[in-house]
């Protein structure tokens, strides 16, 4: 059925930039918010950024605020994450997720019911 596919990850040095993209094979009517989460080896999944599909002010984790920017393209059913000034602490698998309108805050992974397979971001010092 509907799938989310992330792309744009890679190996970079500290201070470099990457742009991740999340493409939906199809958009369902119930999709309300698109979010980015990340998970490093041995650590839990953490919230990165989120944006409602119809617009509004984006939400960012404190760790990435001022460095990362989430954006959307409704016509293409894509959501991007521009990552600037990357740090080794940003190293993780990054996951795109889609959530509904009714339940949970955008910062909580329980809000989301559709997940991509992830794209690896590795930042060397």
pLDDT recorded at residue 76: 83
Is pLDDT at 110 greater than 70 in this prediction?
Answer: yes
pLDDT recorded at residue 31: 80
The bridge status of strand 4-7 relative to strand 18-24 is antiparallel
pLDDT recorded at residue 29: 60
pLDDT in tens, 55-103: 678 999 999 999 999 998 878 888 999 999 999 999 999 999 999 887 7
- Measuring CA to CA, which residue among 103, 125, 94 is closest to residue 16? 125
């Amino acid at each position: 059925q509907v799938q989310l596919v992330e792309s744009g990850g890679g190996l970079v040095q500290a201070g470099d930039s990457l742009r991740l993209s999340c493409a939906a094979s199809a958009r369902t009517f119930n999709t309300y918010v698109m979010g980015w989460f990340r998970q490093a080896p041995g650590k839990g999944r953490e919230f990165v950024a989120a944006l409602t599909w119809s617009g509004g002010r984006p939400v960012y984790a404190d760790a990435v605020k001022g460095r990362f920017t989430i954006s959307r393209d409704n016509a293409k059913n894509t959501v991007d994450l521009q990552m600037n000034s990357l740090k080794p602490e940003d190293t993780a698998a990054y996951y795109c997720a889609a959530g509904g309108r009714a339940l949970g805050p955008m910062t909580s992974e329980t809000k989301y019911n559709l997940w991509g397979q992830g794209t690896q971001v590795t930042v060397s010092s």
